[in-house]
Amino acid sequence: MDKLREKAAALLADGTVTMVLGYEEGTNKPRPLFCHTAEQASKLVYSSQCINNLAVYLTKKEIMGAGKVAIIATIPTLRSILQLSVENQLNEDNLVVITVTDKDEVKQFANFAEIEAYIADFQLKLDGKEQEIITKLEGMSREERFKFWMEEMSHCFKCYACRAACPLCYCTKCIVEENRPQWINPWAAPLANMEWQINRAMHMAGRCTGCGACGDACPVGIPIHLLTRKMMEDLAPEFGFTPGQPSKNGNALSTWKADDKENFIR
């Protein structure tokens, strides 16, 4: 922890960066911290309890400003950074990416290519409970699955914490905020909630890196990350990408090829 604090303090003190995004102790677990001065870096912590995906802040102009910033990234955060980079949302020259290795060493990446090589060693894994739900869903008929999600959706009150916590939900105007025409009913009701979540899953198809931030953020406990997660796994073989790694061939729902293997699209 000391090495991490020293590193962050040095980056701030010598003017390399104007801000370091990291974690500090929170009420029950670590929470995001924004260090603007070397002194603030003494509050930094890092552990397996750091679950917020800090990449979500990288596309917020009001937070990031125009200067160079450093981010202390967990493995899921690194995956999100790469996907954001593929989507042309990050300026490599304005970002210092740091992680803490398994051996507790502070590692600064020279560039995004180095991040890619680094995360290739980490397999994307679901915890047992989540895998259990996915297996259960896979065993269900279409009607049963719809019933399962409708029941879950009945709890959604459309606070959009899932969207807010997602590093890849960076649109300045979300589809649910479009009202001419109103694509999605904006009030909370099971079907209107389902419309929203299906839309989100579609927009995430082939882009989601499986960090689980949406599910962690949901205050009413809907395992919403499993929808995008399952989508990712189903799409990966079809579109030739590896779950959790950036999709360099474009995003599943926003690319088109003249030689597509499907007739209907040609």
Partner 1 sequence: METKYISKNGLNEWFSQIVKSGKRVYAPVEERGKVEFKKVQALSEVAEEYIQTTQSIKSAVFPRAEVLFSYEKENGQVKVEDFNPDTVKETVLWKVHPCDAAGFKPLTAIFNWDYTDKLYNAHLEKTTLVTFSCAKADKSCFCTSVNGGPGNTSGSDVLLTMLPDGGAIVEILTPKGEALVQLAASAFEDDKGEDKSKYLADVPLAFDLEEVRARLATAFDSPVWKEQSERCLGCGACAFVCPTCACFDIQEDAHGSKGKRIRCWDSCGFSLFTLHTSGHNPRAVQSQRWRQRILHKFSYMPDRLSVFGCTGCGRCSRACPVDMNILEHITSITKK
127 is a contact residue toward partner 1 (CB under 8 A): no
Shortest distance, position 172 Cβ to partner 1, whole Å: 9
- The sheet carrying 106-108 orders its strands as 31-35, 19-24, 69-72, 95-100, 106-108
Region near partner 1 per CB under 8 A, out of 1-9, 56-64, 230-238, 258-266: 56-64
The binding track of 161-200 with respect to partner 1, each residue x by CB under 8 A or -, is x-xxx-----------x----x--xxxxx-----------
Shortest distance, position 177 Cβ to partner 1, whole Å: 5
Count of residues that interact with partner 1, criterion CB under 8 A: 35
Distance CA 218, CA 216 (A): 6
Is residue 227 within 8 Å of 194, Cβ to Cβ?
no
Torsion over CA of 120, 121, 127 and 132, rounded to 10 degrees? 70
225 is a contact residue toward partner 1 (CB under 8 A): no
Region near partner 1 per CB under 8 A, out of 79-87, 111-119, 151-159, 198-206: 151-159
Angle ∠(66,69,70) on CA atoms, nearest 5: 170
Cβ nearer to partner 1, comparing 182 with 254: 182
Strands 31-35 and 19-24: antiparallel
User: In the block, which residue shows the tokens 């099971």?
Assistant: 190
In the complex, which residues of this chain contact partner 1 (CB under 8 A)? Answer: 26-29, 31-34, 52, 56-57, 62-63, 155, 157-161, 163-165, 177, 182, 185-189, 213, 216-217, 219-221
